[in-house]
């Protein structure tokens, strides 16, 4: 699985743990930065990772900022990106299995490296359930997206 990763300065302390875990899980990593602790603007990284996922250059994405919330808000503005902030393993896998989540957002000031590793493993090991009710719900989400673009 190819996973795009991006963070801002608030997520920088967790980034290496995330990258190491992805590689240990056999994932190919697309690292969009940031590459240091200097202050940067999180939407720039959310856009890069989100576009990589939406365009099919990566199957999944992981974004890390201080809380995970800003990255989630920004990434969800890109059609085809379904990002959520998750700080528990149930949400990290259930979001994929039931909701089609394709971008995991983490808070570098909220969780530590060991929890981040567990969340990344849960996220990349999860697969969409494919059940009729889940497909129906995702179709409704995509209809909302289309309507927001003016396609509907």
Q: pTM for the whole thing?
A: 0.96
> Could you say which of 3.30.70.580, 3.60.21.10, 3.40.800.20, 3.40.1400.10 is the CATH number of the domain covering 2-149?
3.40.1400.10
Residue 21: predicted pLDDT: 98
pLDDT of residue 83: 98
Closest by CA position to 145, among listed 86, 83, 97: 83
Report the alpha-carbon distance of residue 58 to residue 41 in Å, rounded: 22
Indicate if the pLDDT at residue 102 is higher than 90. Answer: yes
Angle between helix axes 113-125 and 12-24 (nearest 10 degrees) is 40
Q: Indicate the pLDDT class of residue 151, thresholds 50, 70 and 90.
A: confident
| Residues designated as active site | 65, 98
| Domain locations along the chain | 2-149
For the stretch 23-57, pLDDT in tens is: 999 999 999 999 999 999 999 999 999 999 999 99
Q: What is the pLDDT of residue 152?
A: 61
The answer on pLDDT for 79 being more than 80 is yes
Alpha-carbon distance of 84 to 69, in angstroms, equals 8
């Amino acid at each position: 699985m190819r996973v795009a990763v991006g963070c801002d300065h608030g997520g920088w302390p967790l980034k290496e743990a995330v990258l190491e875990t992805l590689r240990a899980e056999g994932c190919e990593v697309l690292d969009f930065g940031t590459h240091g602790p200097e202050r940067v603007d999180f939407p720039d990284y959310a856009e890069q990772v989100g576009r990589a996922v939406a365009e099919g250059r990566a199957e999944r994405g992981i974004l890390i900022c201080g809380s995970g919330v800003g990255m989630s808000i920004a990434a969800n503005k890109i059609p085809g990106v379904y990002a959520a902030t998750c700080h528990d393993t149930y949400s990290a896998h259930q979001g994929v299995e039931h909701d089609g989540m394709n971008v995991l957002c983490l808070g570098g000031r909220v969780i530590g490296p060991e929890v981040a590793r567990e969340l990344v493993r849960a996220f990349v090991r999860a697969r969409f359930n494919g059940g009729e009710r889940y497909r129906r719900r995702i179709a409704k989400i995509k209809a909302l997206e289309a309507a927001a673009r003016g396609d509907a």
